[in-house]
Chain A
Amino acid sequence: MQAGAGSAEKRRRRFAAAGIAPLMLWQFVFFVVPVILLLVISFWRTRNYRMVPDFTFANYIAVFTNGAMWRALLLSVQTAAFVTIACAVLAYPIAYFIAKKAGRLKGLLLIAVIAPFWISIVMRVAAWRLLLGENGVINQSLLSIGLIDQPLGFLLYSPVATSIGLVYAYLPLYVLPLYASIDAIEDNWIAAAKDLNAGPMRAFWEVTFPLSLPGLIVGAVFCFIFGLGEFVTPALLGGGKQLMMSQVIQDQFQRRLDWPAGAAISIVMLVIVFALLAVSMKWFRKASGEKL
Chain B
Amino acid sequence: MTNTKPPAVEIDAITKSYGETTAIRGVSMDVRDGEFVTILGPSGCGKSTLLRMISGFAEPTTGDVRIGGKSVVGLAPYKRDTAMVFQDYALFPHRTIAENIAFGLRMRKVERAEIARRVDEMLALINLSGYGGRRVSEISGGQAQRVALGRALVVRPSVLLLDEPLGALDMKLRKQMQAELKKIHRELGLTFVAVTHDQEEALTLSDRIAVMNAGSVEQFADPETLYRRPATRFVADFVGGANLIDAEVGPAGALLFRGLPLSGIGSDAVKDRAIGDKVSLVVRPECVATSALGGQAPGPAIEAMVTEVLFSGAVQQIVGRLADGSLFVAHEQGLKPPPERGSTVLFHWDGSLSWLVAR
Shortest beta-carbon distance, B281 to chain A, in Å?
42
Contacts of B59 in A (CB 8 A): 4-5, 8-9
Q: Which residue of A lies closest to B63 (CB)?
A: A1
Nearest-neighbour CB distance to chain B for A7, whole angstroms, equals 6
Quick check: is B251 within 8 A (CB to CB) of the other chain?
Answer: no
Q: Which of A1, A7, A8, A9 contacts B62 (CB 8 A)?
A: A1
Q: How far is the CA of A1 from the CA of B64 in the complex (A)?
A: 7
Say whether A108 faces chain B, with CB atoms less than 8 Å apart: no
**Residue from A3, A5, A7 having most chain B Cβ neighbours under 10 A:** A5
Taking CB atoms, residues of chain A closer than 8 Å to B74 are 3-5, 7-8
Contacts of A8 in B (CB 8 A): 59, 74, 76
User: How far does the alpha carbon of A3 sit from the alpha carbon of B61 in the complex, in Å?
Assistant: 10
Cβ-closest chain A residue relative to B56: A8
Interface residues on B, range: 10 to 19
Cα–Cα distance between A1 and B62 once the two chains are bound (Å): 7
Least CB separation from B60: chain A residue: A5
Please name the residue on chain B nearest to A3 by beta carbon: B74
Q: Is B315 an interface position by the 8 A CB rule?
A: no
* Residue of A1, A3, A4, A8 with most partner-chain B CB within 10 A: A1
- Distance (Å) between the CB of B74 and the closest chain A CB? 2
> B184 near A: Cβ within 8 Å?
no
| Shortest Cβ distance from B13 into A: residue | A1
Q: What string of 1s and 0s marks CB contacts (under 8 Å) between A128-164 and chain B?
A: 0000000000000000000000000000000000000
Interface residue? B177 (CB, 8 A):
no
What is the minimal beta-carbon distance from B10 to any residue of chain A, in angstroms? Answer: 13
**How far is A175 from B71 in the complex, measured between Cα atoms in Å?**
56
CB proximity to B under 8 Å, residues A1-22: 1-5, 7-9
Q: Which of B61, B62, B64, B74 has its CB near the most chain A CB atoms (within 10 A)? A: B74
Question: Could you say which residues of chain A place their CB within 8 Å of the CB of B76?
Answer: 8
Q: What's the Cα separation between A7 and B62 when bound, in Å?
A: 14
CB distance from B156 to the nearest CB of A (A): 26
List chain B residues, Cβ under 8 A from A5. Answer: 59-61, 73-74
Q: How far is the CB of A159 from chain B (nearest CB, A)?
A: 52
The 8 A-B residue pairs whose C-beta atoms are closest, nearest first, are A4-B74, A5-B59, A4-B73, A8-B59, A1-B73, A1-B64, A7-B74, A8-B74
